[in-house]
Amino acid sequence: MSQSLDIAVIGATGTVGETLVQLLDEREFPVGNLHLLASGESAGASVPFKGRNLRVRDVAEFDFSQVKLAFFAAGESVTRSFAARASAAGCSLIDLSGALDPMQAPSLVPEANPELLQRLDAPYQLTSPSASAVALACVLAPLRDLVRPRRVSVLASLAVSSRGREGVNELARQTAELLNARPLEPRFFDRQIAFNILAQAGVPDAEGHIALERRLAGELRQLLAEPDLRVAATCALAPVFFGDSLALSLVSEREVDIDAVRQRLAQAPGVEFVEEEGDYPTAVGDAVGQDAVYVGRVRGGLDDPCELNLWIASDNARKGAALNAVQSAELLIKHYLSKILT
């Protein structure tokens, strides 16, 4: 690509934002000027890019007409405050927070629904979905016509890095306290996360679901173009620093051909299928730091020929967030660069 693009990354100091900046470099994304932004308290820090240290500036003072593409990798409130301003300035955007209306900013996972871009127009507004939805979409999209899914039940054991750097630090601190037999006072999480599992990665609504569970279900239906798919989702927090583990149980409307599923997964883009007998992928041992979603333990039901069970491991910050956003941007500029630049 000869032409380059002026870009903003909002939330550049977070775990996802830093990975995103690093991927723009690694993947030789055609970056012209790169503007690193963050909300108030993080402005002033610096982040390395192509051997230079770039100063992070306050997003509130940024003029979005300087860029043609913005990644929103800060929290929901930052997206809510500044996404409209970016769009009004003609800037296309990819939001990673899930704050935008899915009708206005639909979810894109290039391995699952690349055709989405055909029916949108500039300035583009896209959502890079939750890390669990990215992983599930990569695995399920290539199986869709083979395994007509009627119902999926997902338990996502999320890494503490899904709650940012404070989550990581708190797990390390709690673990060290416990190993040294010191009394534990939970700080960032509401209780002990070290050597324990927390049943909900967020605050439940009146019906008991957390926002991430609703988000995952909605995103998955959209990504797979299966509006009637029934999704049971539980998003728990595990004492793992990086890498999500997902147990998926799927009910098909027909008998599942497990061998055919294995063949599809072995060829699926963005998926690393661990197929050796008895072997299986783990978040830390396989997925972390990698660009693929790892899948294994492919098996039918114990008593139901219409069932498919899978185990998925994925790097939540990289493949589940930063990389999916960058891949989405790559797809956008590959086919629609002229529209973005107008």
- Rounded CA separation 318/38 (Å): 19
Characterize 132-162 residue by residue with b for buried, 16 or more Cβ atoms within 10 angstroms of its Cβ, and e for exposed. bbbbbbbbbbbbeebbebebbebebbbbbbb
Q: Which of residues 258-317 bind its own copies (CB under 8 A)?
A: 277-278, 280-285, 296-304, 307, 309, 311, 313
Query: Edge-to-edge strands of the sheet including 307-314?
Result: 230-237, 149-158, 244-252, 307-314, 293-300, 271-273
Is 208 one of the binding residues for its own copies (CB under 8 A)? yes
CA 195 to chain centre: 25
Cβ-Cβ contacts under 8 Å for 195 (sequence gap 6 or more)? 175, 178, 239
| Part of the chain binding its own copies (CB under 8 A), chosen from 51-59, 64-72, 87-95, 213-221 | 213-221
How many residues belong to the site for its own copies (CB under 8 A)? 61
The structure tokens 């978040």 sit at 283
Q: Which amino acid makes up residue 45? A: A
- Rounded CA separation 84/317 (Å): 25
Is 102 one of the binding residues for its own copies (CB under 8 A)? no
CA 20 to chain centre: 12
Counts of helices then strands in the chain (DSSP H, E): 7, 13
The nearest distance, CB 295 to its own copies, in angstroms, is: 10
Q: How far is CA 191 from CA 153, 243, 248, 304, 308, in A?
A: 26, 21, 27, 39, 35
Is 181 one of the binding residues for its own copies (CB under 8 A)? no
The nearest distance, CB 239 to its own copies, in angstroms, is: 5
Choose between 283 and 293: whose C-beta lies nearer to its own copies.
283
The nearest distance, CB 323 to its own copies, in angstroms, is: 21
Query: What x/- string results for residues 149 through 178 when contact with its own copies is judged by CB under 8 A?
Result: --x-x-x-x-------------xx--xx--
- Rounded CA separation 163/309 (Å): 28
The nearest distance, CB 208 to its own copies, in angstroms, is: 3
Among 81, 169, 192, 290, binds its own copies (CB under 8 A): 192
Query: What x/- string results for residues 6 through 45 when contact with its own copies is judged by CB under 8 A?
Result: ----------------------------------------
The nearest distance, CB 107 to its own copies, in angstroms, is: 16
The nearest distance, CB 85 to its own copies, in angstroms, is: 32
| Part of the chain binding its own copies (CB under 8 A), chosen from 24-32, 71-79, 245-253, 324-332 | 245-253
DSSP 71-130: EE-S-HHHHHHHHHHHHHTT-EEEESS--S-TTTS-B--TTT-GGGGGG--SSPEEE---
The nearest distance, CB 209 to its own copies, in angstroms, is: 6
Is 209 one of the binding residues for its own copies (CB under 8 A)? yes
The nearest distance, CB 159 to its own copies, in angstroms, is: 9
- Rounded CA separation 88/65 (Å): 9
Choose between 1 and 197: whose C-beta lies nearer to its own copies.
197
Q: Which amino acid makes up residue 68? A: K
Q: Which of residues 63-82 bind its own copies (CB under 8 A)?
A: none
Q: How many residues does the chain have?
A: 342
The nearest distance, CB 59 to its own copies, in angstroms, is: 31
Question: Which residues in this chain contact its own copies in the complex, by CB under 8 A?
Answer: 151, 153, 155, 157, 171-172, 175-176, 179, 191-192, 195-200, 203-204, 207-209, 213-214, 217, 230-234, 236, 238-241, 243, 245, 247, 249, 251, 277-278, 280-285, 296-304, 307, 309, 311, 313
